[in-house]
Structure 1
Amino acid sequence: MKMLVKIVLLVALCAFVNSTEPECSRFHYEEKTLEKMIKTEIYVDKIKSETEHMQQKMSEKMDGIQEDWKKTQLELKEANEDNEKAVEEIKNKVESLSTVQAVAFLAHNIKNKGPSDGETIVFSTTHFDVGSGYNNKNGTYTTPVAGIYMFTLQLCITGRRYIYFEIDTENGPILKGCFNDDSGSYDGCQTATTIAELGAKERVWIKSGSSSSGTDFWTQSTVWNSFSGVLISTVTK
């Protein structure tokens, strides 16, 4: 009886071992496979995340490059516009310089050789007058246009004589001076030059000041007592 029980238990144990061992091996394989699948999925997700992150950075970098390029294009456009504007301004200035109105005059042959203090010195001969500004009857020059003018006065003084003078305007003198000849034996010519900014239709004349008594100026064919002027540049007034 006892032997029979042992045989039955041995058979049952063998049956149990034979029946459960394969089941344990299959579960272990499936577990390992699932573990590998999970690890693979995690790895794939990681790669995907890194790829998306890299794509995002590249996209941001490209956006930055595009933004910089747009800014550069705008700056280039503005620089080109500024350059064109500067060129146009220079062109206009050159054109304005090249089209400055020609204005100039020269008068000589002094009318009164011994003018009194405060008298306008009149030069009776108009050598040329571009702009028709000099009046050789009253000795006054009238500017035809507003601008920067240069005026020159030459007076030939009798020996041992002197005379004070002004190049005068309605707004006051633009030059004051004195010519004198102290050589004793010789007469001499002296010159004075000045510049002034004047408006259109402003009058300019030579005013005599105090002088030595007697004839102060001398004239002959080889010398000129003269008054001249020229427009250097026009201005807007």
Structure 2
Amino acid sequence: MMNFTIVLSMLLYCSLILAQDDVNVPETERTSETQSCFPDMCEFLKEFGAIKEKQTVMETRLKDSETRLKDSETRLMDSETRLTDSETRLKESENQILELKSKEKTVVVFSAAAGGSGHIGPFNTDTTVVYKVVKTNIGNAYSQFTGTFAAPVPGIYYFTFFYHAGGSQRVSLTLIKNNESVVTTYDHTTSHDGADNGGNAVFLQLQQGDQVYVRLGANTHVWGDNFITTFSGFLVSQV
């Protein structure tokens, strides 16, 4: 547009010059000059108009190309976003598969007996029963030195504990989780009952590191020989 304005201004300027020159030019010369000048000017204007039209067409094509380029960039960005989302979902799926495989491979089972000979207790205070004879300890979560089970993974666990004892003294065994009583088995003293047997069981949801053990109540006892007083547990399912 600016180029067209400049050319138009030049044409007007030239016309003014020619008009001024015509004042002192004879009529015959003026007619001759006009005939020689105006055809050139008309041809120039035609060429300029054609160039301007081509320029307009090129500008239109350029705008169309820019629009198509922007559309292509937008589609490319959308494709990249979808690709990123797909990669994220793929990683999440892989992590879930790995987690499921890890859960399938995690096996925790233990079973132990008090062992020894004769009775365990009575003691003046509550005492943790140490089941020294380990029958099974897959996962090594039970310690035969402390009598404590420590959960290696979070999940649902099942525990059982049984005892055999003489009837002449009281029996009190309590399953403890992190110093809190969970379930108890108990029997009182009888003069006519020579032996007692009992036990209890429970499902517990544990976090990794939670501790579970069996506590013998103060002034009570159980028998430890012949593997008749036991403590067992296993992982049911990880959570």
Q: TM-score when scaled to structure 1?
A: 0.53
Pairing 1:79-98 to 2, within 5 Å after superposition: 79-98=85-104
Larger radius of gyration: 1
Residue of structure 2 equivalent to 1:121: 129
Pairing 1:18-33 to 2, within 5 Å after superposition: none
Q: Which runs of 5+ in 1 are unaligned?
A: 1-19, 219-223
Contact 2:185 2:198 in 1 (8 A): no
1:140 to 2:147 alignment: yes
C-alpha distance in 2 between matches for 1:54 and 1:87 = 49
Residue of structure 1 equivalent to 2:13: none
When residues 124 and 86 of structure 1 are mapped into structure 2, their CA distance, relative to the original with a 3 A threshold, is closer
Residue of structure 2 equivalent to 1:167: 176
When residues 193 and 108 of structure 1 are mapped into structure 2, their CA distance, relative to the original with a 3 A threshold, is farther
Answer with 81-90 or 226-235: which moved more: 226-235
C-alpha distance in 2 between matches for 1:69 and 1:123 = 69
When residues 31 and 66 of structure 1 are mapped into structure 2, their CA distance, relative to the original with a 3 A threshold, is same
C-alpha distance in 1 between matches for 2:171 and 2:68 = 87
C-alpha distance in 1 between matches for 2:154 and 2:58 = 74
C-alpha distance in 2 between matches for 1:112 and 1:34 = 132
Q: Which of 97, 100, 105 is the matching residue for 2:110?
A: 105
C-alpha distance in 1 between matches for 2:184 and 2:66 = 82
SS at match of 1:147: coil
Q: RMSD in angstroms over aligned alpha carbons?
A: 5.0
What's the CA shift for 1:35?
Answer: 7.5
When residues 115 and 194 of structure 1 are mapped into structure 2, their CA distance, relative to the original with a 3 A threshold, is farther
- 1:146-168 Cα distance to aligned partner (Å, 9 max, x none): 3337352445798xx77363426
What's the CA shift for 1:51?
Answer: 0.5
Residue of structure 1 equivalent to 2:81: 75
What's the CA shift for 1:105?
Answer: 1.5
When residues 165 and 84 of structure 1 are mapped into structure 2, their CA distance, relative to the original with a 3 A threshold, is closer
Amino acid at match of 2:88: D
1:62 to 2:68 alignment: yes
C-alpha distance in 1 between matches for 2:76 and 2:174 = 69
What's the CA shift for 1:131?
Answer: 4.6
C-alpha distance in 1 between matches for 2:214 and 2:199 = 16
C-alpha distance in 2 between matches for 1:148 and 1:164 = 25
When residues 234 and 71 of structure 1 are mapped into structure 2, their CA distance, relative to the original with a 3 A threshold, is same
Residue of structure 2 equivalent to 1:229: 233
SS at match of 1:227: strand
C-alpha distance in 2 between matches for 1:112 and 1:148 = 35
Q: Which of 197, 215, 223 is the matching residue for 1:207?
A: 215
C-alpha distance in 2 between matches for 1:76 and 1:124 = 59
- 1:162-216 Cα distance to aligned partner (Å, 9 max, x none): 7363426xxx52544444579xxxx8754344343354xx9753112357x7x7x
Amino acid at match of 2:217: G
C-alpha distance in 1 between matches for 2:92 and 2:203 = 36
Q: Which runs of 5+ in 2 are unaligned?
A: 1-26, 189-196
When residues 204 and 134 of structure 1 are mapped into structure 2, their CA distance, relative to the original with a 3 A threshold, is same
C-alpha distance in 2 between matches for 1:229 and 1:190 = 12
Amino acid at match of 1:194: L
When residues 106 and 93 of structure 1 are mapped into structure 2, their CA distance, relative to the original with a 3 A threshold, is same
